[in-house]
Amino acid sequence: MPLLRTDTRPDGTVRHVLDLSGCDCTRARACGRTEPPPEETALCRATIGSGDPPENPFGVMGGFFAAESAAVVDAEASSAVVTVSFVDHLGFPHSDTRTSRLSGEIKVYGRQDSDGSANLIVDFGLEGTNMTYEFEGVDIFGNPEVPITNLSIHGGTDTTTVHIRPDGMGMIPTGVLMLGFELSVKGKKVIAHAANDRPVAIKVDFAGGVFAIPMFEAAVTSTMRGRVALRGTFINRPPRVDAGPDQIVECTSVASTPVQLKGIVTDPDGPANVRQISWFRGFEYTGGSFSSDLAPTVSLPLSPGGAPDVFTLLARDGSFQADLARTRVTVRDTTPPVLDVSVSPDCLWAPNHEMVLFELGRELSAVATDACDPAPAIGIASVTSSQPVVGGGSGQTRPDVIFGKRAFCLRSERQGTSEEPRAYAISVKATDASGNETSKVVTVKVGHDQGAFRCPKVDGARIVEEGDPRCSAN
């Protein structure tokens, strides 16, 4: 860390010098490197606490993407009050305080929520006026005056967000507001880092366009302490993007379903300030945009496994400040297929206890149509009889029903003691790719007699043995 120390000359006089030996000089001929790079100035990174901060800890956003508001610092209201102090070889303290007016730009990353609160990251780069320190009776650097020139202050809350209440007030915790002081002393450039050593208030008036951090302190070096106050007026506020609500839409066709996205872009500096509107497919927004309309219509297939399609809406203003939002669209199919089923013949005669074969696609016709599945699965779900397997006058044969998904066999018999015909109910089910089901039932009857119930005789080619595998075809 740079220190003001005293050196005694051979003639007995005392000279106070700036000691750079404790610094990590990153590019400096003054650091004594044998092969220095072209830069002539010394860059000193001061040690803070138990370790060195990163080379550029200020405003490093990484993968953080947020809306950015820029504020011009009020040079009259913003200032850096820097005190330089040291103890001479006789143990006497010396100090001097000067005020440098600051100018530059503050950037605030984040967005205001619907309730008026916000979570912000602050970043600033400011230039200060030159300062000259006077130490009465002390020959420091060969002169009673120490000029500090080329003062600049860079800093912010790094990647730490600061919560702003709906009333615009917030508190930056100790150690979060980082400061980088860069200055020149006797032509030597020095960089030192510091952080606030107590909580700092922050005020953001989004409506009024004012940003302020009252006076706060930070130890720049062991011999230098700074107090900084910042106030600025927003010169540009980013657009606000709303990609619209997430949508769940019903599939309308096998190929694709049209869906209209519903984006909204506003800009507090006026709609004319919005220069770019771009929609992107997915989470990424670095590839090609597919539309510059706020409400484009996209054609989407059925969402596989119910996973939504993600769309990103990005807007930029005339100052290249941006905001983005995402919306998700799920295309699902909840409509069951339409099923038409018929059986022919729909009766059996004679009641001679023979097993008669019915096959899907021949005697049993079933056609399913579905808006989002070109070929729903069709199968026989169940076959039941209205009369018991063994009943009065029906004989002792069993089983009366054998079926699989693609065929069934019925015993041509009925209960002789009942005037009612036997009714076999065949339930056919259609299932689409999304699991939606439709069932239809058709009936095959076996009459008591041929009086009022007329039925042609069964084709002998359809009479099968009970163990015929065609009866349970799947």
Q: What is the pTM of this model?
A: 0.64
Q: What is the pLDDT of residue 144?
A: 64
Q: What is the pLDDT of residue 57?
A: 23
Enumerate domains of the chain plus CATH numbers: 3-236 (no CATH), 240-332 (2.60.40.10), 338-472 (2.60.40)
User: Does residue 214 have a pLDDT over 80?
Assistant: yes
Q: What is the pLDDT of residue 22?
A: 38
- Token couple for 159: 């990647």
More confident residue, 161 or 407: 407
Residue 328 burial by CB count (10 A; 0-12/13-18/19+): exposed, middle or buried?
A: middle
Q: What is the pLDDT of residue 153?
A: 86
Q: What is the pLDDT of residue 114?
A: 80
In degrees, rounded to 5, the angle at the alpha carbon of residue 102 between the alpha carbons of residues 317 and 182 is: 100
Q: What is the pLDDT of residue 66?
A: 52
Q: What is the pLDDT of residue 67?
A: 64
HEC readout, the chain: CCEEEEEECCCCCEEEEEECCCCEECCCHHHCCCCCCCCCCCCEECCECCECCCCCCCCCCCCCCCCEEEEEECCCCCEEEEEEEEECCCCCEEEEEEEEEEEEEEEEECCECCCCCEEEEEEEEEEECCEEEECCCCCECCECEEEEEEEEEEEECCCCCEEECCCCEEEECCCCCEEEEEEEECCEEEEEEEEECCCEEEEEECCCCEEEEEEEEEEEECCEEEEEEEEEEEEECCCEEECCCCEEEECCCCCCEEEECCCEEECCCCHHHEEEEEEEECCCCCCCCCECCCCCEEEECCCHHHCCEEEEEEEEECCCCEEEEEEEEEEECCCCCEEEEEECCCEECCCCCCEEEEEECCCEEEEEECCCCCCCEEEEEEEEECCCCCCCCCCCCCCCEEECCCEEEEECCCCCCCCCCEEEEEEEEEECCCCCEEEEEEEEEECCCCCCCCCCCCCHHHEECCCCHHHHCC
User: Does residue 61 have a pLDDT over 90?
Assistant: no
Would you say 66 and 43 are in contact if contact means Cβ atoms under 8 Å apart? no
Would you say 468 and 409 are in contact if contact means Cβ atoms under 8 Å apart? yes
Find the farthest-apart pair of alpha carbons in the chain and give their distance in angstroms, rounded.
145
Q: What is the mean pLDDT of residues 31-53?
A: 29
Percent of the chain having pLDDT more than 90? Answer: 43
Q: What is the mean pLDDT of residues 34-62?
A: 27
Please choose, from the candidates 441, 419, 420, the residue with its C-alpha nearest in 3D space to the C-alpha of residue 430.
441
- What digits encode the pLDDT tens for the residues 23-41? 333 333 333 333 333 333 3
Sequence-ordered list of residues with C-beta below 8 angstroms from that of 335, at least 6 positions apart, any chain = 250, 251, 370, 371, 372, 436
User: Does residue 63 have a pLDDT over 50?
Assistant: no
CB neighbours of residue 391 within 10 Å: 16
Q: What is the mean pLDDT of residues 360-389?
A: 96
- Band (360; pLDDT cuts 50, 70, 90): very high
More confident residue, 288 or 439: 439
d(CA 48, CA 192) in angstroms, rounded, equals 9
Alpha-carbon dihedral sign for residues 247, 251, 254, 257: negative
Count Cα atoms within 13 angstroms, Cβ side, for 404: 13
Lowest mean pLDDT among 55-69, 347-361, 454-468: 55-69
CB neighbours of residue 286 within 10 Å: 6
- Token couple for 118: 């916000």
Q: What is the pLDDT of residue 84?
A: 79
The residues with which 179 forms a beta bridge, in sequence order, are 155, 194
User: Does residue 288 have a pLDDT over 80?
Assistant: yes
Give the pairing type, strands 247-250 and 322-332: parallel
Residue 287 burial by CB count (10 A; 0-12/13-18/19+): exposed, middle or buried?
A: exposed
Q: What is the pLDDT of residue 47?
A: 26
Q: What is the mean pLDDT of residues 136-150?
A: 65
Q: What is the mean pLDDT of residues 260-289?
A: 90
d(CA 115, CA 51) in angstroms, rounded, equals 40
- Token couple for 375: 């070929």
Report the chain's mean pLDDT, rounded to a whole number: 81
